[in-house]
Amino acid sequence: MIETATKRENIMMAVHVMTQCRENYGAHDWDGIGQCPQYWKNKGGDDYVIGGAPSIEDAEHFVSTYICHDNDYSEEFVVSSQEVEKDFHTQMELISDGEVEAWRIEWADRWGHPMVKKEALEVA
């Protein structure tokens, strides 16, 4: 059992984090005064493959805190995450012949990735 655990630790895994995007159609005609009208519609989402993350929870927290957003006009939030093989490809990647790709972020290099909100880094 210990030997199996040791072998597994040496295999670099990744975490597939899936998000949902929503747009507030009520904000299109909002003049900025008072409360923004609420008329949310679900849109697509994004796939993030975080390589070398210490845990599923750490990868999910990173995407939720440093990539996703939430304002009166739109929002993106994490809907699920799972541990996957390092060379994992989403269904969309497989059926689109490479036209659609997941965002791939290495844990060690995550702070320099262009998807990371720079204002979130200043607060942290």
Tens digit of each residue's pLDDT, the chain (124 residues): 444 444 445 456 999 999 999 999 888 888 888 888 888 999 999 999 999 999 999 999 999 999 999 998 999 999 999 999 999 999 999 999 879 999 999 999 999 999 998 887 776 5
The per-residue pLDDT for 39 is 87
CA separation for the pair 76, 79 (Å, rounded): 9
Q: Is the pTM of this model over 0.85?
A: no
113 lies in which domain range? 2-123
Query: What confidence score (pLDDT) does residue 11 get?
Result: 52
pLDDT of residue 101: 94
CB within 8 A of 113, min separation 6: which ones? 103, 105
How distant, in Å, are the alpha carbons of 5, 19, 88, 100, 101 from that of 16?
Answer: 22, 10, 8, 15, 13
**Consecutive H or E run containing 15:** strand 13-24
The confidence score (pLDDT) of residue 41 equals 94
In the chain, the number of structural domains is: 1
Place of tokens 């320099």: 112
What pLDDT does 118 receive? 83
